[in-house]
Amino acid sequence: MNLKLTNRGTTLIATIIGELDHHSAEHIIQKLDAEMMKSSTKNLIMDFSKVNFMDSSGIGVIIGRYKKIKSLNGKLSITGINDKIRRIFNLSGILKLMPAYENIDEAIKKM
């Protein structure tokens, strides 16, 4: 599991690469939260286009980050979810809380 973090203005883009399960979630939370605490971060985009496996641990990670970014008065968007992981998103109802876009550019435009 790898996590790529980039900044576009005040938006932090977190691209998750590989498998997102309970094991990798802890590492992602640690790295992502450290970056989110930086004063330049207002909004967050979590990009799943490079995730090849995700279980419900991924939903826990998103809900946790959603609460954090909300408390900073920011917004969270999701990008790049494929059909396989979309089923888990749909089961959780999480997409009622935040928008999902095809790709990062679209998410930034609508932020």
Partner 1 sequence: MNPINEVKLEFVSKSCNEAFARVVAAAFVSQIDPNLEELADVKTAVSEAVTNAIIHGYENGNGIVKMNCKLYTNAVEITVIDEGKGIEDIEQARQPMYTSKPEMERSGMGFTVMESFMDEVEVISEVGKGTTVKMYKEFKSVGNQPG
- The b/e string for 1-37 (b: 16+ C-beta within 10 A; e otherwise) is bebeeeeeeebbbbbbbeebeeebbeebbeebeebbe
* Residue in 42, 57, 72, 100 binding partner 1, rule: CB under 8 A: 57
Q: Euclidean distance between the first and final Cα of the chain, in Å?
A: 27
Contact pattern from residue 1 through residue 30 relative to partner 1, giving x for each residue in contact according to CB under 8 A and a dash for the rest: ------------------x-xxx-xx--x-
Is residue 60 near partner 1 by the rule CB under 8 A? yes
Binding residues vs partner 1 (CB under 8 A): 19, 21-23, 25-26, 29, 53, 55-57, 59-61, 63-64, 84, 87-88, 91-92
